[in-house]
Structure 1
């Protein structure tokens, strides 16, 4: 009996230690699986502060998506500087838009188009669909979200000539994207385990870490998001704007 209790206690302690290490960003169970993908990249915003793109681009990276806009009027204060500097590297570069539940999709598409040039060779714009603020607890209905997302997707595709990629958490995917939008590439966030979309769909980009540290930036946010692409660099280049 005593041996069994000790074994149980030791098992609980091991699980607790692993939990702490995962929370601290020291151990990530999905890193081994993510290492099986050759094409790796980051996504950044003003929270990473001033970025030395030449240094960052040397960190075994192939692509970077940069926050550009949010809602119908906000522009990331470092977007222009990040865009200009990243474009001078060998990285494949794209912009992302944080979707608001509080303004129309048409207005948001127009705001993105006004801030992000439709530059040949750049990656498709990304629509970031996730909960924020009070919407973590008071989630919009699928109908409310689709009424915004549908014209936003249409406006982005019309302006840039390619369908946008949609970034989502598991919760947002299940509520708003599962079994819908079959032509849109999916960028899924899964920072502990390998992603498995609830409707059996294949993901295009996987954000496997939100707590990496890489040389080349010095902002209020010490961590940087790291992602992998489900394919080769040539296949990622095939998604870029003409």
Structure 2
């Protein structure tokens, strides 16, 4: 059974209370359990620009400890919903292509938001926003401050649509709160200790009452056993001196894009060893911050990497050539070229009706072309669910895996295609905090 912390257990109990309501609006459900004035939390998803702002009240935001706790809880909520969805405990569904509005609002304090005079009026009381990371009351006072999350596909997938809760939630609740049974007298600690004491006394009596011959035989056997143990230890010590296994070293880093601005102007924590930045997307989009980020990472003497966001509808050779043109000064100490493929790569098409065989062949064509241009084996960034649905060819296992998995475990879920190969990099959290900016935290295994 997966272990849950106190926050997750509270959410699970609230999910269980909605079990009998059938199909529930995910918006209504989340506003009751998390995004409400009592919690001091709200969310606005920028659908067109593909990012989300998590808002918390000034009181929470201005206290570093409470701010961090709020961010962690938000990440845990996303991870928990995703886990329950993959386990069939809940089902989250929607047709993302029917979403036509530029923004999506989550909070019980929002009511029929509308745009007026370059402001977004959020309710009848005059709550509004005219800056991406601030919510103001009718007097113009800032009452909520926002933190940007750039993993928009993950956020949108988990927080928009409808939810159906299965009976499996009852099993989880029962495992969390097992029925207390009366303990038989012979299982009580005091009884066990008494039994143990009687056993020891019996053994002592038996030893003292044994004859001298048996005692000598016992001592002789013990001495022989000690000699054998000593010989085995000597052999192990000799082996350990000659065979020292090589250990895999874990390094921590971050990945960034234009949404993080000039975050590299700040001093990064000493624990950060590498930075991966977005370079390109599709056949002709260059991230506006790439040139700056690419040079700044090198100046900070950190291991650097660059990734291309793959667009399924665009020609793979064109995408590969465009990507390489931007990163062709790649050095041997840098990460190999990285391709990011996920649900957002289906932009402009219906992922359900996509041709998986064609998708995989085109992606392999892209990877082959990048390898020809760079002389390096490229890395693939994806997540467990997407890969098992769309990247099923065993040929992908030759490429190192950068896996996105935010379940806060000791190791990530590995897609089937890489199950024997394992992971090279792990995007462990979407909520690493540097100078009021929230960015992705990654782990890299240096072999």
Q: If the length of structure 1 is used for normalisation, what is the TM-score?
A: 0.76
Q: Distance in 2 between matches of 1:40 and 1:139?
A: 38
Is the partner of 1:153 in helix, strand or coil?
A: helix
Is the partner of 2:389 in helix, strand or coil?
A: helix
Partner of 2:404: 189
In the TM superposition, 1:219-234 aligns within 5 A as: 222-230=437-445, 232=446
8 Å CA contact 2:264–2:293 kept in 1: the answer is no
In the TM superposition, 1:89-238 aligns within 5 A as: 89-120=300-331, 121-132=333-344, 133=347, 138=352, 140-178=354-392, 179-192=394-407, 193=409, 194-199=411-416, 200-201=419-420, 202-215=422-435, 222-230=437-445, 232=446, 235=447
8 Å CA contact 1:70–1:98 kept in 2: the answer is yes
Q: Distance in 1 between matches of 2:272 and 2:9?
A: 38
8 Å CA contact 1:94–1:123 kept in 2: the answer is yes
Partner of 2:280: 69
> Which entry has the higher C-alpha Rg, 1 or 2?
2
Alpha-carbon shift at residue 198 of structure 1 (Å): 3.9
Alpha-carbon shift at residue 52 of structure 1 (Å): 2.7
- List gaps (5 residues or longer) in structure 2: 1-7, 15-32, 35-69, 81-247
Number of aligned pairs?
Answer: 211
8 Å CA contact 1:96–1:125 kept in 2: the answer is yes
Correspondent of 1:43 among 255, 259, 266:
255
Q: Distance in 2 between matches of 1:102 and 1:29?
A: 29
Backbone CA RMSD of aligned residues: 3.0
Alpha-carbon shift at residue 94 of structure 1 (Å): 1.1
Alpha-carbon shift at residue 14 of structure 1 (Å): 6.1
Partner of 1:78: 289
8 Å CA contact 1:118–1:160 kept in 2: the answer is no
* Divergent runs of 4+, >2 A: 11-17, 19-23, 25-30, 133-141, 175-180, 198-201
Distance change (3 Å), C-alpha of 1:147 and 1:39:
same
Q: Distance in 2 between matches of 1:197 and 1:139?
A: 25
Alpha-carbon shift at residue 38 of structure 1 (Å): 3.2
Is the partner of 1:123 in helix, strand or coil?
A: coil
8 Å CA contact 2:360–2:391 kept in 1: the answer is no
Structure number with greater CO (CA < 8 Å, separation at least 6) is: 1
8 Å CA contact 2:338–2:380 kept in 1: the answer is yes
Q: If the length of structure 2 is used for normalisation, what is the TM-score?
A: 0.43
- List gaps (5 residues or longer) in structure 1: 1-10, 31-35, 236-242
1:7-47 deviation line (CA, Å, top 9, x unaligned)? xxxx9636458x966551378999xxxxx973111111000
Distance change (3 Å), C-alpha of 1:77 and 1:143:
same
8 Å CA contact 1:131–1:139 kept in 2: the answer is no
8 Å CA contact 1:128–1:167 kept in 2: the answer is yes
Distance change (3 Å), C-alpha of 1:207 and 1:136:
farther
Distance change (3 Å), C-alpha of 1:188 and 1:109:
same
Alpha-carbon shift at residue 175 of structure 1 (Å): 2.4
Structure having the higher helix fraction is 2
Alpha-carbon shift at residue 113 of structure 1 (Å): 1.2
